[in-house]
Amino acid sequence: MITALKVMLAEWNTRYSERVKLQHTYIVLSIFGIIVAGLVGLLNYDASRTILRICFVGIGIFFVNAISWALLYSSIVNRLPVRPTPNGRK
């Protein structure tokens, strides 16, 4: 099982860019935090509300980051000319 997890993480690392990995991390941590807040809520209501606020900030960061990258790619990056590589190298 640990080997399968290592293979899955290695494939995830090669398949996605750094930006997409960051977005995945924001979502996974926020979902994990919401689950932890639910469990903590069984014992301490105020602490669970604090954890939920932190998770909602993480979700907000996810959406702001996604929107800003979409605007950046649509307005700037896609319009940049592609530079030819010297000597046919990639």
9-22 pLDDT, tens digit per residue, is 888 888 988 888 88
For residue 47, give its domain range.
16-77
- In a domain? residue 86: no
- In a domain? residue 88: no
- In a domain? residue 90: no
pLDDT digits (tens, 9 = 90+) for 53-72: 999 999 999 999 999 988 88
Q: How confident is the model at residue 47 (pLDDT cuts 50, 70, 90)?
A: very high
Report percent pLDDT > 70 for the chain.
Answer: 88
**How many structural domains is the chain composed of?**
1
Phi-psi group of 62: left, alpha or beta (phi > 0 → left; psi -120 to 50 → alpha; rest → beta)? alpha
